[in-house]
Structure 1
């Protein structure tokens, strides 16, 4: 059920009305669990069984951790829970890849009679499995930490996992893992952040401004920008890019960077708006990533919920940057390689992760991950502005080259694209393909520009420069942008298409 479909609109309206009816005020969580199950089962009902199995694994293991006095036994339950989550993810997401590796290594040619091999090779990829599996791991680890006497719980935090009855715990955990606004593509929610929110919600408490702004922005980015750009960035697929000039291919790649941002940021904003309409807060997932001055900063701004998850549940447990420099670089490579594979069961995603891991390691080695500070001045600091601009362009170029591995999943095709850029430098530009890309990308550029480093609060700046996003002019323009986005949604939406991150 696509967020952009009429069916989904009807589904949300029915759920919303039932949710806030006074007669159902005591079963709000149950209503959302049932609605989420219907949403997930809509296109492929059989896959609902897998979601239920995942819920069962995490309910059992985390509940056992909650109610086990022996610390060693708690740790064993936690290991079992994490291992079971990874096993389910590994089977359905990486079963075909690993089976191919096995058959190639041992030179096995599977026949139709090889039932097990054929089953593994043709397992369906359940939509959203990467997201709800990571949330399940978050639950198991967070419950263990809250129960572990060696882990310091903040004074204002209640041990909200412990005092729930088995039925309530089952219901809350089912809700946490299946909440439909973010079930299939995030943002990834941490158990510690979500469970304290589970309570009765009231219609009068809805933050309508947040709902409106998030939904309008999200649907505009998805339907008016990403869905239009996809019809033009199509031409950097294999083999079409081979006949196009260097400038045309570069503009199309620029457009794909804009498209993937608009598509995924659009989904995240829609999810945040929908969750807010039911009284729940989801984490911010994007913070103007294309004005980043370093790759490290990019990962603090792009897919924030994933990078945060990787930081707390993988990077820090591996030792983070608390050990030697060499170990820090190794940790970065491990985290980014696994983060790449999280996106898909293909070596191109692993290469994408290694590409970013190497970038982070080199950047850290050279000290480029830290932004130099400048003293406050009464004059505009052109050197700082130019330095920031060069860094932003360099990081954007690095990131865009990495997106090639998403658009061209065969690594050889991505290499061939780079070769084509050098070969076709004399081929003239195709304005019929370039112009629409630039036009539909313009709103994304405008969206980022006011947050350019020298114009925002993340650096010391001249006293005479007022942060753009806090100025009266900017607030007025922001308010006016929402009616314009609504007009474009009605008059210029592209053909409906699944969100890019649904495949992950």
Structure 2
């Protein structure tokens, strides 16, 4: 079920109305779980079984971990982790594994490899699998029988209900943000209508729907030219504009989804973690990964990078850990080697950045004038954005050969005329996202504070309301054709 569909609006308002009826307050979690299962199974009911199986196994193993002896806790943890990774590998990477054996073989229709190639990809499986793993590890990190630190109920029935809610809560179920159990479980308590943070709900939903329906859904009608073989007829300038436009599109699409999820959850009294923090003004790759898909970056850091040793075991080990995390993070996005290459691309970038910072950056910063340092900051932003945009090419063209052909084609089409019917709309729809990011630059923040201090509160509120009114008007009048969110495929 899409957030931008009529069916979702009906489900949301019906759930909201029932949820806040005082007589049903003790059943609030049950109401949200039922709505979440309807939300997930709306387009493909058979896949609901896999979600329910994941909920049960993770609920059972986390319950056992909470009360078992240390040795038994490790055993239950390994069983739970094995289940999550096997299910994810089977459904998401079965086709990738099968392709390794079928490239040079002719297989019959009833072979195991043919079966693997035809497996459906359960929507949201990467997200709810990671949340299941988070639950198991967070429970393990809690001392057994330490009630004040544990979020696992003594009653299995209550724990499985809370686990169902944690994993299946519909705002984050399909495309995040990825939740951590130790942050979410303490929030599970009765909610009241008067406690709703309406400002958060309104701002998140308006900006989220604007980014998705006005920016991303309109840009997609032009960035499809990046697909093979259309890009071969594009001029170099047109291709570059489209590639940068796709960067804007993928941000608007995913950040829009995350904001809608945050606003929807807030309407029910729950706080989801921030997932994007103006990533395209990053001045380094490490900063980019602190601003982009924050919930995934945080998950990989807490549950993979740090357990591997992080940066505590020497420079070489740090570089190896970075590559492992980024390659696995790339494969998390999709069952294609191009995603692994994308992860390695960022991994190499992070390593080179560390080497540069260690040997050059400190001396440069100490010798630069303030104005020159500001210019360098802008150059860094442009370079990081360009680096990231080239990487997104592997999302648009998962066939690695086509991605290389696109870059090769752009190097040869310098003299072709610019297709302004394509570039102009892309630039126009990209401007709001560019302005959105520029407003968070430190120097702009400083200037805006000085300017706003000269305005009275009424004038400031009028400006803010006009901006939101304009976004609402654009959502109604200038939305693109409805389309699935890009990250649904992950």
**TM-score of the two chains, using structure 2 as the length reference:** 0.95
Which of 402, 412, 415 matches 1:423?
412
Partner of 2:229: 239
Offset, 1:120: 1.3
Offset, 1:278: 0.2
CA contact (8 A) 1:296 1:369 kept: no
Q: Distance in 1 between matches of 2:268 and 2:454?
A: 32
Q: Distance in 2 between matches of 1:368 and 1:251?
A: 34
Is it true that 1:495 corresponds to 2:484 in the alignment? Answer: no
Q: Distance in 1 between matches of 2:416 and 2:142?
A: 62
Q: Distance in 2 between matches of 1:315 and 1:141?
A: 14
Which of 109, 114, 125 matches 1:112?
109
User: Helix, strand or coil: the match of 2:119?
Assistant: coil
Offset, 1:366: 1.2
Q: Distance in 2 between matches of 1:352 and 1:16?
A: 41
Is it true that 1:315 corresponds to 2:305 in the alignment? Answer: yes
Which of 125, 138, 142 matches 2:138?
142
Offset, 1:468: 7.3
Q: Distance in 2 between matches of 1:190 and 1:312?
A: 10
Is it true that 1:397 corresponds to 2:386 in the alignment? Answer: yes
Q: Distance in 1 between matches of 2:482 and 2:359?
A: 39
Q: Distance in 1 between matches of 2:291 and 2:472?
A: 26
Which of 253, 263, 266 matches 1:263?
253
Aligned-pair Cα RMSD in Å: 2.2
Is it true that 1:56 corresponds to 2:52 in the alignment? Answer: no
Q: Distance in 1 between matches of 2:128 and 2:238?
A: 39
Q: Distance in 2 between matches of 1:44 and 1:19?
A: 25
Which runs of no fewer than 5 residues in structure 2 stay unpaired? none
Is it true that 1:103 corresponds to 2:102 in the alignment? Answer: yes
Q: Distance in 2 between matches of 1:346 and 1:233?
A: 21
Q: Pairwise mapping of residues 185-196 of structure 1 onto structure 2 (< 5 A)?
A: 185-196=175-186
User: Structure 1, residues 95-126: CA drift from partner, whole Å, max 9, x if none?
Assistant: 1110111333xx43211132x33221111000
Q: Distance in 1 between matches of 2:212 and 2:386?
A: 23
Q: Distance in 1 between matches of 2:404 and 2:72?
A: 50
User: Helix, strand or coil: the match of 1:329?
Assistant: helix
Q: Distance in 2 between matches of 1:289 and 1:173?
A: 32
Partner of 1:461: none
Q: Distance in 2 between matches of 1:338 and 1:179?
A: 26
User: Structure 1, residues 262-297: CA drift from partner, whole Å, max 9, x if none?
Assistant: 000000000000000000000000000000000000
Is it true that 1:289 corresponds to 2:260 in the alignment? Answer: no
Structure 1 residues 392 and 74 mapped into 2: Cα distance closer, same or farther (>3 Å)? same
Q: Distance in 1 between matches of 2:360 and 2:43?
A: 47
Which of 437, 441, 455 matches 2:426?
437
Structure 1 residues 139 and 178 mapped into 2: Cα distance closer, same or farther (>3 Å)? same
How many residues align? The count is 484
User: Helix, strand or coil: the match of 2:306?
Assistant: helix
Which runs of no fewer than 5 residues in structure 1 stay unpaired? 458-464
User: Helix, strand or coil: the match of 1:283?
Assistant: coil
Partner of 1:462: none
User: Structure 1, residues 401-425: CA drift from partner, whole Å, max 9, x if none?
Assistant: 0000000110001100110111000
Q: Distance in 2 between matches of 1:131 and 1:468?
A: 42
User: Structure 1, residues 71-93: CA drift from partner, whole Å, max 9, x if none?
Assistant: 11101111111111011000000
Partner of 2:123: 127
CA contact (8 A) 1:456 1:469 kept: no
Q: Distance in 1 between matches of 2:452 and 2:307?
A: 39
Q: Distance in 1 between matches of 2:215 and 2:94?
A: 35
Q: Pairwise mapping of residues 146-185 of structure 1 onto structure 2 (< 5 A)?
A: 146-147=142-143, 158-185=148-175
User: Structure 1, residues 413-458: CA drift from partner, whole Å, max 9, x if none?
Assistant: 110011011100011111110000000000001101121244458x
CA contact (8 A) 1:246 1:424 kept: yes
Offset, 1:158: 3.1
Offset, 1:160: 3.5
**TM-score of the two chains, using structure 1 as the length reference:** 0.92
Name the one with the larger helix percent.
2
Q: Pairwise mapping of residues 401-480 of structure 1 onto structure 2 (< 5 A)?
A: 401-456=390-445, 476=461, 477-480=463-466
Q: Distance in 2 between matches of 1:365 and 1:274?
A: 43
Structure 1 residues 444 and 63 mapped into 2: Cα distance closer, same or farther (>3 Å)? same
CA contact (8 A) 1:293 1:395 kept: yes
Q: Distance in 1 between matches of 2:243 and 2:460?
A: 32
Partner of 2:242: 252
Partner of 2:216: 226
Q: Pairwise mapping of residues 1-80 of structure 1 onto structure 2 (< 5 A)?
A: 1-68=1-68, 70-80=69-79
